[in-house]
Amino acid sequence: MKHTFPILLLLGSFGALAQTQAAEALAKDAKTLNERYAVMKDKSETFNEYKVIKEYILDGMWKLTTDSIKKVHRDLAEARAGAAQLQMKLDGALAAVKAKENSMEEVEHAATHISVLGMDFGKGFFIGLVGFVLLGMVVLMGLVGGRLKMVYQSLREKIEMEDLINKEFENYKRKALDKQMKLSRELQNERNKMAEMRSA
């Protein structure tokens, strides 16, 4: 028995040393749960292939685990809240971009289209239509001008023809009048001669 007490004392101190080494798993440092579990398992004493871990170390590991789970849940809730805020900001930004796109479409439509008499035309089509109408008006004015020129020329020819006919008629009237006067004189001369012959 003499030797039993020192052996038990030695085993007890070795067990206490092993348990204090296992308590390193509860130390406040930056180790993960897996690393703490590995330290606890490695530093615990073994008895017949079983690991002997003191209850306060298991309680400490349980508290660390639940605290870690709570922290993960808290971080997850914060991340979800942050994601919700970011989603709201993103939705707001997307709405602003959509509004700007609509505004740009309206500006682009206004820049490329023109409204005349309530009808919407593309500017290219409207310019072509106006050009076609103006060209039609120029052609129509050319045709009307040509027709007026022909009518004016025909009218001038008719006036010249009428003047020529009037001159010829005046000449004919004058000649006929001269002839009539000449015949009247000759007739008067003949009457005078016959009257002289009767009186003689």
Question: Does the pLDDT of residue 74 top 90, yes or no?
Answer: yes
Per-residue model confidence (pLDDT) at position 83: 93
Per-residue model confidence (pLDDT) at position 125: 83
User: How far apart, in whole angstroms, are the C-alpha atoms of residue 44 and residue 17?
Assistant: 9
Tokens, residue 103: 């505004």
pLDDT tens digits, 44-65: 788 888 888 788 878 888 888 8
Tokens, residue 70: 């709570």
Q: Look at 179 and 29; give whichever has higher pLDDT.
A: 179
CA 81 → CA 19, 65, 73, 76, 93, distances in Å? 42, 24, 12, 8, 18
pLDDT tens digits, 11-26: 444 444 444 555 565 6
